[in-house]
Copies of this chain bind each other. A is one copy, B any other.
Amino acid sequence: MEIRKPYLMFLGDAHDQLAVKTAQGVVDWRRDWCLGQLRLEGCKADLGLEDMTIAEAAEAGVKTMIVGTVSPGGVLPDYWVDTIVSALDAGLDVATGLHKRLGSVPAIAEAAKRNGRQLFDVRFSDETFATGRGTKRPGLRLLTVGTDCSVGKKYAALALEAGMRERGLKADFCATGQTGVLISGRGVALDAVVADFISGAAEWLTPANAPDHWDVVEGQGSLFHPSFAGVTLGLLHGSQPDAFVVCHEPTRTKMRNVEHPIPSIQSVIDRTILEGSLTNPDIQCVGIAVNTQALGEDEAQALLKSISQEHGLPATDPVRFGVGPIVDEIVARFGS
């Protein structure tokens, strides 16, 4: 799956800015790919991009319209279908993270066929995977893991890709969730893969590469989350990371959507090394990414210092203070 660039961001009639979170993620991380936005009447969201019609977007060289918006009611409204058909008629591909396949709407399927255009439903995987082999491959891999779901694993991986590239390292973000796929234009939504092929899909995503090349892999779930630990373990085995970064949200008291307590950072480090060593005996933790959004500046700095000292590892908030200390650690351990 490789989505053609550049993009037109379709916002529909989004009720608020939160409804375009996925689209905002693409703009935050891939501003250069986003030539404009298309908003329907009543749209209350704004990505700060130039407003464009489909004709203007096609004229400007846009290749794909991204539907990165949660629609009212979670379904695809008829008046969005008209816009999607127009985009296909103008020669654009269309990519979405909706729960329903674009091709399941007859008008959209016909328009795609009529124009020879591609539809990307990033929540679904049409790729056929082999089962995982667990054999060591050349190339370096870094995985972000978490004390819980939704603690900044995608953000940390994207920030590390950027920070490592700035430092002259060869690094590529590998998306394992739908937003990540739209941001990077490729990847696989791992939660949608059939269970037998989780580690195989992770191997497919992070194939053999040059010895000094880093795949920076977006983590999923947590080894301690009773809903999703199977996905986390399959991703860990398949991506066989040389290095991992633990992501943590210090104000959370229990795991997302369940009653389980948040595990300690140390137990996540220990368990990740224990399980990860099945496919990479040299796996090591290179840093801790903490989401300090809920804390004041001084409090955040004090917490990071304390976590860093406790674990003997760099600890930072990638959003607030950057990933510099973790990139330093990577360079120190693996070379530049």
Contacts and interface: CB of A to CB of B under 8 A. Distances in A.
Interface of A: 131-135, 190-196, 198-200, 224, 226-235, 237-238, 257-260, 275, 278-279
Contacts of A258: 133-135
Contacts of A192: 194-196
Tallying the copies of this chain within the complex gives: 2
Contacts of A194: 191-195
Contacts of A234: 195, 229-231
The interface centre, meaning the residue of A195, A258, A278 with most chain B CB atoms within 10 A of its CB, is: A195
Given A133-B259, A195-B231, 6 more contacts: A131-B257, A195-B230, A195-B234, A198-B231, A199-B229, A230-B233
A226 B133 contact: yes
Given A134-B259, A192-B196, A237 B226 contact: yes
A215 B133 CA distance: 32
A144 B219 CA distance: 29
B198 A132 contact: no
Contact of A199 (B227, B237, B259): B227
Contacts of A133: 226-227, 258-259
